[in-house]
Amino acid sequence: MYPQLTDYHVLLTTSVLFMILITGCAGADGSTTDGGSSDIATPVNETEKQALAEPNSTPPPAITTPSRPAGLDSTLHQLVIAEDRTQFAQQRGLDIRDDTVLVTIEVTPDNQLPQSIPIDVKTRSANKILAYVAIEDLTTLAQNEAIRTVRVPETGNADTNRADQLTPTHIRLPR
Same domain, yes or no: 163 and 87: yes
Q: Is residue 133 exposed (0-12), middle (13-18) or buried (19+ Cβ within 10 Å)?
A: buried
Q: Where are the beta strands (DSSP E) in the chain?
A: 96-97, 100-107, 119-124, 128-134, 147-151, 171-172
**Weakly modelled stretches of the chain, pLDDT under 70:** 1-5, 24-66, 111, 156-175
Examine residue 80 and state whether it is found in any structural domain, yes or no: yes
Q: What distance in Å separates the CA atoms of residue 15 and residue 24, rounded to the nearest whole number?
A: 14
Residue 51, pLDDT score: 56
Examine residue 1 and state whether it is found in any structural domain, yes or no: no
Q: What distance in Å separates the CA atoms of residue 142 and residue 25, rounded to the nearest whole number?
A: 56
Examine residue 148 and state whether it is found in any structural domain, yes or no: yes
Beta-bridged to residue 96, according to DSSP, are 101
Examine residue 88 and state whether it is found in any structural domain, yes or no: yes
Residue 110, pLDDT score: 72
* Widest distance between CA atoms in the chain: 97
Give the range of the structural domain holding residue 84, as residue numbers without chain letter: 74-172
Q: For 72-101, what is each residue's pLDDT tens digit?
A: 999 999 999 999 999 999 999 999 998 999
Residue 161, pLDDT score: 41
Q: What distance in Å separates the CA atoms of residue 133 and residue 120, rounded to the nearest whole number?
A: 7
Give me the torsion for CA of 72, 73, 74, 78, rounded to 10°: -70
Examine residue 49 and state whether it is found in any structural domain, yes or no: yes
Please, are residues 146 and 113 in contact by the beta-carbon 8 Å criterion?
yes
- Residues 79, 82, 83: CA angle, nearest 5 degrees: 145
Examine residue 138 and state whether it is found in any structural domain, yes or no: yes
Residue 69, pLDDT score: 81
